[in-house]
Structure 1
Amino acid sequence: MPETAIVDQTHVADNLQALRDQGASMETQRAYVASRFGEEAAVRFDAIEGKEQTWENRYAEYRRAAESILRQPGLESTERMRQIEVLGENAFTAENERVRARNLDTLPAQQLYALILHPADSPARPWRRHRARDRLH
């Protein structure tokens, strides 16, 4: 890929992130992608965003269930961790999803609560910054 294309994609990803940080709607973000790359890219953007939203919802469900396990009285810590491990294995069947979930599990609790309570508009989604750049073309 030519260096100018990489620079342009980086610029677009940064602009998309800026739009997200400003609270831009998905329609606004999609319109931006369409204006830069055309309708085909906007359709791919829609598909990527749909998959991402599905994953974020699954992760939020997993976190709520894990928090519930952590709050169960009478469980030994080793049993809690075993149950959470089994929960993660069942919730995320692909290895890359399990790795992603484990990495998110290491975020400070404040960021995790933001993800769980407001997954669609949370600035605590560090994995989103480069995703658009990696998949638009």
Structure 2
Amino acid sequence: MTNENLYLEKINKSNEALQTVLEFLDYDFPFMSRPPFHIMKSWIKKDKIQGVFLTNGTERYGYVLYKELSEYNVLHVSYLAILLKFQSSGFGGKLIALLQEISPGSSIFLEVEDPDSTKKVEDRSLRLRRISSMKDMDSLFSRM
């Protein structure tokens, strides 16, 4: 699968778009690692956070929810995920590169949960995988 024709589609305030991103969040980020849906929905509707889907116009490959902190020249990423069936195919790097185009010259601030702060084996494994994915993008970040 080529990722050359991908672009970022703004998550609008329609119920369909909000429902889609909330379903993605429910799968990618268990309840304890995110605020309740009604709060997240309110944030999006009030533009307290922005969101985009990574898409080719037909299929959605991933998404990111972020806050632009223009006074600090930073995009603070709250949630970023590539759908499971598209992971390890370069879509995460493409998403980050396109996100950088939203606010050229801004830094992108990402956080990952500490793997040692959980006792659950599956949570630790997921956190380690997320960190590994970010390390795989080191070459992308060094070009920005």
TM-score (norm: length of structure 1): 0.24
Going by fraction, where is strand more abundant, 1 or 2? 2
Going by fraction, where is helix more abundant, 1 or 2? 1
Decide which structure has the larger Cα Rg and report it: 1
The higher-RCO structure (CA 8 Å, 6+ apart) is: 1
